[in-house]
Amino acid sequence: MSFTRLGLSAELLRAVEEQGYSEATPVQTQAIPLILEGHDVLAGAQTGTGKTAGFTLPLLQRLQTTPRAGRGHVRALILTPTRELAAQVDESVREYGRHLPFRTAVIFGGVSINPQISKLRKGVDIIVATPGRLLDHIERRTVDLSAIEIFVLDEADRMLDMGFIRDMRKIFALVPPQRQTLLFSATFSKEIRQLAAGLLRAPKEIQVAARNTPAERIRQVVYPVDRRRKRELLSHRIGQENWQQVLVFTRTKHGANRLAEQLCQDGIRAVAIHGNKSQGARTRALADFKSGQIRVLVATDIAARGLDIEMLPYVVNYELPNVPEDYVHRIGRTARAGQHGHAISLVCVDERALLLDIERLLKGEIEKEIIPGYEPDPRIRPEPIPQGRNQRSAGRKTGPKTGPAKGPAGAAHNKRRAGGGRSRGAAHSRSSGRSR
* Residue 278 CB contacts under 8 Å (≥ 6 apart), including other chains: 110
Q: Is 307 helix (H, G, I), strand (E, B) or coil?
A: coil
DSSP symbol at 401: -
List, for residues 353-397, the tens digit of each pLDDT value: 999 999 998 889 999 999 999 999 999 999 998 765 444 433 333
The most distant pair of C-alpha atoms in the chain lies apart, rounded to whole Å, by 72
Q: At 221, which amino acid appears?
A: V
Going by pLDDT thresholds of 50, 70 and 90, the confidence category of residue 141 is very high
DSSP state string for 254-299: HHHHHHHHHHHHTT--EEEE-TTS-HHHHHHHHHHHHHTS-SEEEE
Q: Percent of the chain at pLDDT above 70?
A: 83
DSSP symbol at 248: E
What is the Cα–Cα distance from 150 to 176, expressed in whole angstroms?
Answer: 10
DSSP symbol at 253: H
48-52 mean pLDDT = 80
> Would you state the pLDDT for residue 71?
63
pLDDT of 436 over the 70 cut: no
> Would you state the pLDDT for residue 333?
82
Which has the higher per-residue pLDDT, 209 or 42?
Answer: 42
Spatial CA neighbour of 79 closest among 233, 214, 183: 183
> Would you state the pLDDT for residue 415?
36
* Residue 407 CB contacts under 8 Å (≥ 6 apart), including other chains: 191, 399, 401
For residues 187 and 327, is the Cβ–Cβ distance under 8 A? no
> Would you state the pLDDT for residue 404?
35
Whether this model's pTM surpasses 0.85: no
Mean pLDDT of the chain: 84
Q: Is 77 helix (H, G, I), strand (E, B) or coil?
A: strand
* Span of 92-96, 122-126, 331-335 with lowest mean pLDDT: 331-335
Spatial CA neighbour of 51 closest among 155, 130, 160: 155
Going by pLDDT thresholds of 50, 70 and 90, the confidence category of residue 211 is low
164-179 mean pLDDT = 93
Which has the higher per-residue pLDDT, 279 or 341?
Answer: 341
* Span of 109-113, 209-213, 243-247, 306-310 with lowest mean pLDDT: 209-213
Which has the higher per-residue pLDDT, 429 or 241?
Answer: 241
> Would you state the pLDDT for residue 272?
93
* Span of 95-104, 179-188, 232-241 with lowest mean pLDDT: 179-188
Q: Where are the alpha helices (DSSP H) in 9-74?
A: 10-18, 26-36, 51-65
Domains of the chain: 3-207 (3.40.50.300), 218-368 (3.40.50.300)
List, for residues 22-33, the tens digit of each pLDDT value: 889 889 999 999
